[in-house]
Each structure stands twice: as structure tokens, then as C-alpha cells.
Structure 1
């Protein structure tokens, strides 16, 4: 994978992927504001799939599971400006402007398509990535500008950005049924359901009467079967969207579970 990244600070970067695609399963620890320069991204979350292209600007909330698939497009690399809005920075910002954290609102991706103020703010960062001697405090000023613009164009943004609660203990069955397709360490699933790893495994056994690994594999393969039969999707797309890391492992597991390969199933459905 040909990947390059330039940084103004660790929280503001210019990201570039040259390869055919790059896939990752992520839990976002920070809110992320992203501006697309070129390429295409597919983001698969529990509530749906999002596609983003050149010119798009979107905000991804923290503590969310997602499968990210980045593609070059039109002969250009996948290239984005990414701004991390950390809890530490946001806590200080909201304390200074005397805005109290509110109850958690809907934690969904927010899309600000071709918004002139945000695009001007984020595009103005480009020259700084090639500078050795940066103006003092420029990163802080630019993040402040971006958050101020977000607050002016989205009256509900404070419900997301000013909420600093960590995940509490929630219903394990409901959460896992919605998020099994994300290839995450069990520690992450535990954290997001408000449990230690030991408690997560214990509660999982009580809830599903099996181990997390066996249950996750079965659920992912069942979803893959549905995607083939009902959605007529290609194996390469289904493999990554249901939580497998490579196509050969997915095909082997699929055939072992169902008795036939994905290609055989698709051929029979024609």
C-alpha cells in the first residue's frame, strides 16, 4: 500500500492513498472532520452505508464502529484533509465559552456537502503541510475556526461535540446484533458496551451460550449469504463489508460453513 501523510500537528493531517483500495475497521476515539480532495470512501456503519467523493465534507462522531474502504478515482489518489477534534481540546473549548455538556444526541455522521465556509477553512490548510516553520498556534486557530463554523451552520452540533460521556453498560445482545460485522478486538466491544474484557466474555456466554469468536463468525457468514442471495453483491465487496480481513480466508470459512463457495452460490443464483 502506497500511503503518505503530512502533518501540521498530530491532529491535522493530509492523507493520501495511491493503491487500488485500503480497508480498515475502526473505532473513532475522536470526532473527525474530513474534507475530500480526490478519491472515494465507503463507510459502513450499523445504521447504513455512506459514500463520499471529491468536495464532500463530513463529521464522524467518536466511539463509533465503522468499516472504512478508501478508493482512488478518476486516475487520482484517495486524498483528504483530516482534522481530529479531541475530547481534551473540545472540553477546554466549551469550558471557555461557558457551554454545558448536554445529553447525548443522535451520534450519526453529519454531511456538509460543498459548504463554502468549511471548504475555505480546510483548503486553507494545504500550504501549511509543506512548511517547516509554522506560525505559532496555527493548528489551534484552525481547529477553533472549524468548530466555530460547525456551530454556526448546525444548531445541534453541540449535542455531539460538548458531550464527554464515556460508554456506559448497555444491553449486550442489542449492541452485538447491530455491530457484529465490524472486525474489532473483543476489548473494544467490551469498552463500547461498558464492560471489562472479562465481564464482556462472561456476559456474552450468558447471553448467547457460545464464545464471541464462534458467534461473530456465524453471524458474519449468514450476513454474507444474505448479501449474495438478496443483494447480488460481489465476493470482494461482501468479504470486507461483513467483517473479514481477506478474500481467501472469507471464501474458505464460507465453504466450510455452508458446503459451497461464494462463487458456486452466485453461479446457482443466475
Structure 2
């Protein structure tokens, strides 16, 4: 689940279970996540592409990014996944305890979502989390905190390159606004979130945006999403009911209204 990030005292370890296919969604990921797919499949899409994880796969999801997700249960079964949220407070304490520091990430390094090797260490750790209901009972807060620390130390041992990701506590720096928006316009998040991820205040984001795109962010986002929807429907043969969420609209009726206003025809008749 990507619903919230939590410190070790509450919901640091979350268990997801669905019988039917859940509605696809999207979320801003505020904390690093170490995850394991127990059953079914999970597809996560960031600005760089799609990543699908099947039963038995381990994954790492980097903080401060936008992600679309789709959860698919196995035939006749349930979707099940475990997620361990690696909160900043815990990581800062580990950094102080062990002297870990992040080096500047290399240009063109690994993306924010990656598959991890199914090492014996990871498998043993997941096995220790099986009594999920017991871990969530009141009075086990210290045990949960220890499990989160254990997850961090295991990640560092099995994937030492993650040190520069885990112990980078800086807020997003100012980046190329045009490239970022062209890559992430499909995500339906508030403008203040786009501003934060591009290293700007909301006021600076709006000012820089209008200089680059000669349009307000809201107007540009709607038009760019409609262009993408038009292409997917007309050229790729996709249905409006499949497209509107994928391009960043919340509501099908609003999408249809805006589409017809722009192109003079309802998307269902294109």
C-alpha cells in the first residue's frame, strides 16, 4: 500500500490484501519502501516506465516520487504484499550510529523503483514478519522499530549501492522544469507537489512555468492530458474509460466534457 508513510511507532509495516482487482491508482511516495510480493502481481509506473513484480519478488521504491500502481490478484486467490516504510527519523539515527553518509548520486543512475535479488537474508526477514497481526498489537512498537532498522541494515548488506539513496536527506533540488513536467504530466497531484518535486516554492513554480510554457500550469496540464488522451483513443484504439485515469483525470464525466469542448466530439465517438 502507498496510502501513508509512518514512523516506526505506527504502521511502519503494512500488509495489503485484496480479493478482487483493486482500482488502479496513483500516489506520491514520501518515504522509501522495502516491499515483498506474497501473491498476485503489482505493476508500478513512474516517469521512466512500468515495473511489474510477481509472487516472490522483492522491490525497493525510492521516496519523493510519483507512482501509478495496479494490483492484480492471482486466479481464484488474493493479492497480498508486505511493505516496510523506512522513515527518515530511523534512517537519521542509523546514519549517526554507524557513520553512514550519502555520496552524490551518479548522473543517469538507477531509477526510483528497482527489483531486488531474492537473497536468503531477505527471505528470512520476510519470514520473521509472517505473524503480521501479532506485530501490530499495542505494546509492540519497539519490536516494529527494530524490524525497520533490521530492514535497513539488510538492504545495505545485500545492496550496498543503496547507501547513497537511503542516507540522502536533502529535499529535491531545483531541476529542469520542462523535462520534468513533460515526463510527469499524467500524474494527478496538486501543483504544490509538482513544485516541491522540482525544487521550487509554489510561487516560483508558477512563475517559472509560465515563462517556459507560456501558459498557466492548470491550463497546460489539461491541454497536455487531452492531447495524450486523443492520441491513445484515436491512434491506439483505447477506450475513454481506460484512458481518462491514465492521463491524469479524476472523473470520466469531466474528462468527456473537456474533451468535447476541445475537439468538438465526445471521446466515445472519436
TM-score category, normalised to shorter length: 0.7 to 0.9
CA 1:68/1:225 → structure 2, altered by over 3 Å: closer, same or farther? same
| 1:145-224 alignment runs, 5 A limit | 145-224=150-229
Spell out, residue by residue over 1:84-128, the C-alpha distance to the aligned partner (whole angstroms, 9 max, x if none). 111111111122111222113534212125444213312321214
Rounded Cα–Cα distance in structure 2 between residues aligned with 1:19 and 1:248: 25
1:196-220 CA distance string (max 9 Å, x none): 2122122222221211111001111
Normalized against structure 2, the TM-score is what?
A: 0.85
Residue 54 of structure 1 aligns to a residue whose secondary structure is coil
Shift of 1:136: 6.6
Q: For 1:204 and 1:136, locate their aligned partners in 2 and report how far apart those are by CA, in whole Å.
A: 44
* Residue 31 in structure 1 maps to residue 35 in structure 2: no
Partner of 1:100: 101
1:257–1:70 distance in 2 versus 1, CA, 3 Å: farther
- TM-superposed deviation, 1:30: 0.4
Equivalent residue, structure 2, for 1:140: 145
Structure-2 residue corresponding to 1:82 = 83
Is the contact made by 1:180 and 1:216 (CA closer than 8 Å) also made in structure 2?
yes
Q: How many residues align structurally?
A: 260
Q: How far apart, CA to CA, are the structure 2 residues paired with 1:256 and 1:76?
A: 43
> 1:268 maps to what in 2?
none
CA offset digits 1:211-238 (Å, max 9, x no partner): 1111001111212233334544443332
Q: CA RMSD in A?
A: 2.4
Deviations 1:30-87 (A, max 9, x none): 0011111223322221111122222222111001111222233323333211111111
Indicate if the aligned counterparts of 1:14 and 1:129 stay in contact, CA closer than 8 A: no
Q: Give the equivalent residue in structure 1 for 2:58.
A: 57
> Helix, strand or coil: the match of 2:160?
coil
TM-score, L = length of structure 1? 0.85
Q: What is the distance in 2 between the residues matched to 1:260 and 1:211? A: 25
Q: 1:134: Cα distance to partner?
A: 5.2
Other structure's SS at 1:156 match: helix
